[in-house]
Every structure is written in C-alpha cells, then in structure tokens.
Amino acid sequence: MYGELKIAVIGGGSSYTPELMEGFIKRYDELPIKEIYLVDVEAGKDKLDIITGLLKRMAKKAGLNIEIHKTYDRRIAIKEADFVITQFRAGGLKCRALDEEIPLKYNLIGQETTGAGGFAKALRTIPIILDICRDIEELSPDAWLINFTNPSGIITEVINRYSRVKAIGLCNVPIGMLNNVSKILNVKNSRIKIDFMGLNHMIYGKKIFLDGEDVTQEVLEKLCIEASFTMKNIPDLVWDKELIKVLGVLPCPYHRYFYLREEMLKEQKESYYAHKTTRATKVMEIEKELFKIYEDERLNEKPKELEQRGGAYYSDAAVSLISAIYNDKKEIHTVNIKNQGAISNLLEDVVVEVNAVIDRSGASPICVGELPVGIHGLVQAIKDYELLTVEAAVNGDYEKALMALIANPLVSSYDLAKDVLKDILAANKEYLTQFYRH
C-alpha cells in the first residue's frame, strides 16, 4: 500500500511541530518517511521559516535523510501525500483571545474549545477544513487525514458528514489522563488501561485497570484526597470529594468548566479584570519565548520548554496512530470516530471519543456500553450543540447558530446566546463570510 512516505502538515509553522518531528524521529525505523511538507499561511512566514530550520537540524542530528519542505501552497503538499496532519488555528492567537474575552463580557466561561469560545473557533475552522478535504479528495484520495485541529470532535464530525476523506480525530487529553493515573498509582503507564467513553474534551474513564485488575475506586479515592489531575492550559482546581463519588467515573480536566463552573469563571474573571490576561495572552508570551529558542541554530532537538505550551504527548498520539495504520498493528488507541454502536445510548452516526482498534483499514471502535444516567444528559446536550454548530457553519445558518449556543450548557440562555452570537459574528466577520451571503 505504501512505499516511502510523504507527510503533509497543515499548520506547519505551529510551535507544536517539533514535538511531531520528535515522534517521527523516534519511530523512523517503522515509518520510512521521505518527505515532510510544512504548510502555513504567508502571514506566518517567520514562524514557518524558523520551524523548517529546526526540523532540518533535528533530522540531521538523527542522521536521517528526510526532506523537509515549506510551502504556502496547500495543494503541492497534499498531492500524493500518504498522511495529512491538520493542526492549524484559524485566526491565530488574536482570535483565540477574542474567543476567551467575548464570553466573559456576558459572565460566561471563555475557553477556546468549549462554550461560546469553542463555538466561535469551530465556525472559523469548518470552512477551511472542508476546503482541505476537497483538495485531499482530488489530489490524494487514498490519504489518511489525522486531525488535531480544535475543537477536534466537531471538526471530525463535519469531515465525516460532508466529505469522503478517511479521517481520524485526535486529542492529547486521553494520553494525559492515562499518564496522570500512572503517576497517582506510581506505576509505569504501560501497565494502565482505561475504558474511555464520551466526546472530545467531554471524555470519561469508565473503568481503570492496572495489569488487568480493576483499580477504578482506588484511583477515584486518591483523586479525592490530594492528587493533581489537569492539563497545562487548565487551572488545577481541587476536585470535590463528593463530586467524584457521585460521578463514579474518572473525569477529564475539561469537566471543570462544567462541574466547577462558578469557580472556573471566578478564576477567569479575576485574572482578566485584574491583569487583562487570558490563557491566549499567556500562550502568546510562551510562543514568543519558544520561537526565540527555536531560532538558535545550535538547537537540534525539541526543547523541554515546549511542554509549557500544553501540547505534551502530541507526538505520542499522532505518530503512534500513523504507525499503527501504516504497520497494520491492530493497537488500541483513543480516537474521535463514528460511534457505530460503541456507546449504545448515542446515535450510531455521530462522532464520539472512544478506544478503537487501529489497523490498515482505519479505526474500529470498541463497545463500551451505555453512558450512565448521570452523565448521558450532559454528553447528549454537548453532542446536540456540536451537530447544530456543524450545520450552522456549513450553511451560514443564523438560526442554527443561535440554537447551538442555546443548547450549549455553558450558555443555555436565549438572551445571552443572542448577544454573544452578535458579538462573535461581528468580531469574526472576515472569517465567517458564509453568514453574510444571504
């Protein structure tokens, strides 16, 4: 099926790309990569130049004859590619800052992948991902699309519904959760297995196993007492013991925005109004420092400072998935794919985040049964919001957009939804032309 591999990375100027390259270097013996094409927009020229230079030095240090190309022409990169990786940010960090600031104006959580902020990001991103899919259908119809672009679940949903591209969505949260559990139990992560169920950034660990033995209750009890369980980009608020007990399953860090909403909102507002800072402004500072480090021509490996960006384990997730497909490994990975009955009380054709067997044919979801009653309602509400968001973005449908925000549990008010939507459309007008055709 494959010979020497061509990889196209859409969003190649991202600060995450060295993490990706590190993964390719580590697995070169099982992934014979000939070419990597880094694609970005011309506004990102400086970053793309710096990343290209760093990746070439990394390849040279590893003694690998991988050709690293940079281009602003997406079609050149996609043509005859074996794998296309999407990791772009429509509107850049400036738009992310707006995604976080606009909801705060209305006393709502401001976050880049959930709530009103995630909604705005999805509206900007969906037209671009569909353009990319059309290029793949024309220029490389057998290629696999590995999507890391957020909100990953919604983006994978729209690809499945509006294209013929073979796509799998990815997120580093499940790997982060597994690694955190291994730290809580003080064991190697290879000994841990978690039965995951839910949606992207709305995922739960139903059962946790250590060497095949169910240790779910032990982990939950430790989590109640003292254990930290979060990501670099989410405040590490302590989980309430009673909440963990009534949930009865392992929450993901993003659940704080839903279950600890008032605390999270208070933390965001205090940070913003006291210092005029959001996570986006912090990331801008981190990226500025990262690219200074990347520029150093003596640097020929991924710097440890990249972990502060919140993208730890990216290469483990993306490159190991590509290797599992290429080498027909039949490994279990946690991915965003069509449900197909894996979660029995969600529709079969919606995208979910679950464990799946990965081989040359793609991803086959593993049945995890029903979502418990206390969880199902929230997950279903988020899925309804996602489906409405997809339809709104594809068709430029104002009414669907309004209904999406009303359905989202972090908005859930007509008055607020109407005002927030007005601001989002105005702030993102150059990216949301589909809403101004009518």
Residue 63 neighbours by CB under 8 Å, 6+ apart: none
Query: 291: burial class by Cβ within 10 Å (0-12, 13-18, 19+)?
Result: middle
Helix (H, G, I), strand (E, B) or coil at 156: helix
Give Rg (Cα) of the chain. Answer: 21
d(CA 438, CA 433) in angstroms, rounded, equals 10
d(CA 261, CA 234) in angstroms, rounded, equals 13
Which residues on adjacent β-strands are paired with residue 354? 335
Query: How many Cβ atoms are within 10 Å of 248's Cβ, its own excluded?
Result: 14
- Among residues 149, 89, 159, 92, the alpha carbon closest in space to that of 394 is found at 159
8-state DSSP, 49:
H
d(CA 326, CA 24) in angstroms, rounded, equals 13
d(CA 84, CA 186) in angstroms, rounded, equals 37
Contact between 15 and 48 under an 8 Å Cβ cutoff? The reply is no
Residue 213 parent element (H or E): strand 213-214
Tell me which of 16, 37, 204, 254 is the catalytic residue: 254
- Among residues 237, 212, 238, 214, the alpha carbon closest in space to that of 225 is found at 238
Catalytic site residue 254? yes
Q: How far out from the chain centre does Cα 297 lie?
A: 30
Contact between 336 and 171 under an 8 Å Cβ cutoff? The reply is yes
What values do phi and psi take at 236, rounded to 5?
Answer: -90, 70
DSSP character string of 74-99: HHHHHTT-SEEEE---TTHHHHHHHH
Residue 75 neighbours by CB under 8 Å, 6+ apart: 135, 139
Question: Catalytic residue numbers?
Answer: 254
